[in-house]
């Protein structure tokens, strides 16, 4: 009678051994893949540049630094956008006696720096709509707080 040690051994179970080998291999491959993947891409996915995408804006700080320039910090979808801008002072006559004020007309957003949630500078992913909305909220804040008054 011929004996086969692998098949006749009651302790050895081929199905359990194969399952363990597959599980360990899968774990090793997944750990290797996660270490190779670019974690920056996972944390900061590329911006969606669609005209109908909705963005959330929050004005953090505005400073008028000279007679025709200023700085602003805007929270745009969780990222901080540091903006320098040039403007013209425009007299605003609203028809009310003593209600003459000075408004601003922002000509240009000069320097735009985008900082992500982790404090790292990322590429400028703002669109034309973002620029227009940032100009609107900066202008509204300066006008409401009479920051352009001489």
Q: What is the mean pLDDT of residues 122-136?
A: 87
Average pLDDT over residues 19-48: 71
Q: How buried is 43 (Cβ within 10 angstroms: 0-12 exposed, 13-18 middle, 19+ buried)?
A: exposed
Region 86-115: mean pLDDT is 84
Q: For the chain, first and last CA: distance in Å? A: 110
pLDDT tens track for 52-75? 557 888 899 999 999 899 999 999
Task: Render 117-130 in DSSP notation, one character per residue.
Answer: TTS-EE-----HHH
Is 60 exceeded by the pLDDT of residue 37? yes
pTM of the model: 0.61
At 19-33, the pLDDT tens digits run: 788 888 898 888 777
Signed CA dihedral, 30, 35, 40, 41: sign only: negative
């Amino acid at each position: 009678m011929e004996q086969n040690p692998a098949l006749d051994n009651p302790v050895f179970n081929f199905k359990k051994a194969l399952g363990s080998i597959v599980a360990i291999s899968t774990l090793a491959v997944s750990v290797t893949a996660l270490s190779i993947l670019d974690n920056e891409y996972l944390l900061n996915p590329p911006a969606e540049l669609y005209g109908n995408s909705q963005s959330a804006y929050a004005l953090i700080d505005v400073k008028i630094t000279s007679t025709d320039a200023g700085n602003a910090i805007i929270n745009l979808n969780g990222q901080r956008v540091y903006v320098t801008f040039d403007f013209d002072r425009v007299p605003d006559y609203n028809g009310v006696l003593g209600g003459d004020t000075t408004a601003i007309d922002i000509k240009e957003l000069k320097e735009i720096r985008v900082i992500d949630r982790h404090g790292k500078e990322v590429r400028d992913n703002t669109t034309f709509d973002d620029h227009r909305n940032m100009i609107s909220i900066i202008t509204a804040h300066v006008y409401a707080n009479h920051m352009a008054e001489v």
